[in-house]
């Protein structure tokens, strides 16, 4: 990615959207909306001082709401270009309120609240569609209770929890524990504020609140309005402190998740949703289980699946290594139901098809390997360019050339065309680049012949 950002002949247009495309192979006119960052890209050094001082905390979409970020943010670590963006939906200044702290703190003078969207136009010879895929929402699969049980997560959510750049810095903490910690932080902030108020009152009367409150309850100040207000504020403070102390005691027992379950084919190979295999899910679950074991050697993982489709070069060996060295157990069986047990632990009920028995097992976290869903942006692109989609809304390709769409000069790669894993996606990308380069070469050859 760094090489792409530095390449003199590659124009990387992040934070942009396609507005319109016209023309044909060899001469496409493309209009692109460069969205306003409210930060000048050529001035921003990516130091992060603005982020550190921004007072507005919002949910982090990149981490799927498992963490938070500021209203001025970098979408993810090592992003290209290395510049910050102000979110107009949350920024106080852009909402008409007084703030502007980021502009005051920025030594590069990169903040520009007056920046507007820009439309730029290019003429290109070929187009490659590589929009990726969307995450299937498993909520409609009621038996897995994804939206009801806190510690049932998607594979992507588990990926962010186990990532060093994620909300837990690579420590595999349970979402239910994270919710408790967030509540502790909220209550602690309220307690600190009420404590400051009580300290002012205590200084005024020269007495500590607990001693005063004991006297007040005995009816020692029946007609004193000031002390009545003092008692009300102390009562409100206790109403915050009691649950805070209870949650703090509960949090003392928190540890990282050590018993993991991976449920395969959630939405994939399922006639209710997508009957095809998504291709990458099996190896992704194995990889996550291995990484979890590397972080915490006591971790054990159970992967539930109808079968494990380790079809790539070296994949079967990787699968076996996970079982032999990373405490992974492979269970051949379809998970029937997930319920919630003690301590918010998910309980998986499944049929072990080898033993032909119904079993239940308790885990700390259950990860759902969700289906590869076509990108929601692909329908709009298909209308602009006129290429065909298949019955699932993946890009329809030529049976003899799997990166060619129904429109000459428009090519596709990776999960925009078919669910696939990384090695195949890389091969497809190289193939699509080669097909696009062929059109460019032909165009220049024709121009040279015309000149000659």
**Domain spans of the chain, in order of start:** 2-130, 135-173+255-373, 177-251, 374-451
Cβ distance 419 to 135 under 8 Å?
Answer: no
Residue 156: the pLDDT is: 96
pTM of the model: 0.90
**269 has a pLDDT exceeding 80:** yes
β-sheet bridge partners, residue 359? 350
318-343 pLDDT, tens digit per residue, is: 999 999 999 999 999 889 999 999 99
Q: How confident is the model at residue 450 (pLDDT cuts 50, 70, 90)?
A: confident
102: part of which helix (H) or strand (E)?
Answer: helix 101-105
β-sheet bridge partners, residue 128? 411
Cβ distance 415 to 135 under 8 Å?
Answer: no
Residue 438: the pLDDT is: 94
Residue 221: the pLDDT is: 85
Three-state secondary-structure class, residue 379: helix
Residue 1: the pLDDT is: 64
Tell me which fold the domain 135-173+255-373 belongs to. Answer: FAD/NAD(P)-binding domain (3.50.50)
**240 has a pLDDT exceeding 90:** yes
20-61 pLDDT, tens digit per residue, is: 999 999 999 999 999 999 999 999 999 999 999 999 999 999
Report which of 133, 141, 138 is spatially closest to residue 157, judged by C-alpha positions.
138
Cβ distance 362 to 345 under 8 Å?
Answer: yes
β-sheet bridge partners, residue 322? none
Centre a 10 Å sphere on the Cβ of residue 406 and count the other Cβ atoms it contains.
15
**Which whole number is the average pLDDT over 177-200?**
95
82-97 pLDDT, tens digit per residue, is: 899 999 999 999 999 9
Report which of 167, 192, 189, 164 is spatially closest to residue 178, judged by C-alpha positions.
167
Q: What is the C-alpha R_g of the chain?
A: 28
Cβ distance 35 to 15 under 8 Å?
Answer: yes
Cβ distance 135 to 154 under 8 Å?
Answer: yes
362-396 pLDDT, tens digit per residue, is: 999 999 999 999 999 999 999 999 999 999 999 99
**247 has a pLDDT exceeding 90:** yes
β-sheet bridge partners, residue 416? none
**Which whole number is the average pLDDT over 408-423?**
94
**448 has a pLDDT exceeding 80:** no
Mean pLDDT, the chain, rounded, equals: 94
Q: How confident is the model at residue 212 (pLDDT cuts 50, 70, 90)?
A: very high
Note the Cα 313 to chain centre separation in Å: 29
Residue 207: the pLDDT is: 92
126: part of which helix (H) or strand (E)?
Answer: none
**Torsion angle defined by CA atoms of residues 269, 271, 276 and 277, in that order, rounded to the nearest 10 degrees:** -10
Tell me which fold the domain 374-451 belongs to. Answer: FAD/NAD(P)-binding domain (3.50.50)
Q: How confident is the model at residue 79 (pLDDT cuts 50, 70, 90)?
A: confident
Cβ distance 101 to 53 under 8 Å?
Answer: yes
CA distance 58 to 342: 32
| Cβ neighbourhood burial of 163 (10 Å; 0-12, 13-18, 19+) | middle
Residue 328 phi, psi (nearest 5): -100, 130
Q: Is 374-451 in the same CATH topology as 135-173+255-373?
A: yes
Centre a 10 Å sphere on the Cβ of residue 385 and count the other Cβ atoms it contains.
20
């Amino acid at each position: 990615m760094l090489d792409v950002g530095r390449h003199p002949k590659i124009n990387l247009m992040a934070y942009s959207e396609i507005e319109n495309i016209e023309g044909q192979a060899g001469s496409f006119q493309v209009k692109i909306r460069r969205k306003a960052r409210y930060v000048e890209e050529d001035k921003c050094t990516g130091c992060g001082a603005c982020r550190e001082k921004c007072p507005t905390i919002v949910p982090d979409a990149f981490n799927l709401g498992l963490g938070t970020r500021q209203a001025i943010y970098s979408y993810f670590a090592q992003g290209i270009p290395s510049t910050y963006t102000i979110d107009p939906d949350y920024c106080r200044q852009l909402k008409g309120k007084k703030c502007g702290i980021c502009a005051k703190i920025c030594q590069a003078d990169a903040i520009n609240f007056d920046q507007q969207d820009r439309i730029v136009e290019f003429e290109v010879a070929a187009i490659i569609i590589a929009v990726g895929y969307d995450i299937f929402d498993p909520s409609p699969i009621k038996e897995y209770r994804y939206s009801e049980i806190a510690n049932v997560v998607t594979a992507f959510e588990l990926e962010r929890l186990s990532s060093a750049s994620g909300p837990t810095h690579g420590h595999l903490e349970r979402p239910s524990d994270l919710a408790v910690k967030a509540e502790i932080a909220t209550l602690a902030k309220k307690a600190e504020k009420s404590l400051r108020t009580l300290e002012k009152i205590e200084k005024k009367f020269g007495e500590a609140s607990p001693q005063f409150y004991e006297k007040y309850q005995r009816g020692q100040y029946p007609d004193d309005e000031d002390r009545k207000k003092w008692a009300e504020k102390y009562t409100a403070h206790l109403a915050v402190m009691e649950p805070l102390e209870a949650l703090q005691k509960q949090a003392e027992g928190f540890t990282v998740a050590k018993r993991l379950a991976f449920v395969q084919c959630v939405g994939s190979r399922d006639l209710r949703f997508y009957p095809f295999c998504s291709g990458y899910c099996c190896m992704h679950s194995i990889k996550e289980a291995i990484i979890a074991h590397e972080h915490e050697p006591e971790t054990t993982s159970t992967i539930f699946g109808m079968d494990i489709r380790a079809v790539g070069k070296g994949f079967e060996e990787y699968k076996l290594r996970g079982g032999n060295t990373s405490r992974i157990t492979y269970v051949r069986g379809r998970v029937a139901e997930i319920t919630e047990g003690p301590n918010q632990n998910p309980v998986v009920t499944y049929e072990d098809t080898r033993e032909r028995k119904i079993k239940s097992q308790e885990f700390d976290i259950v990860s759902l390997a969700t289906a590869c869903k076509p990108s929601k942006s692909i329908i709009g692109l298909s209308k602009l360019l006129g290429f065909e989609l298949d019955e699932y809304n993946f890009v329809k390709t030529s049976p003899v050339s799997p990166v060619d769409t129904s429109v000459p000069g428009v090519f596709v790669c990776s999960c925009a065309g078919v669910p696939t894993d990384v090695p195949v996606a890389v091969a497809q990308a190289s193939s699509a680049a080669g097909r696009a380069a062929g059109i460019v070469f032909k165009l220049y050859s024709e121009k040279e012949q015309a000149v000659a």
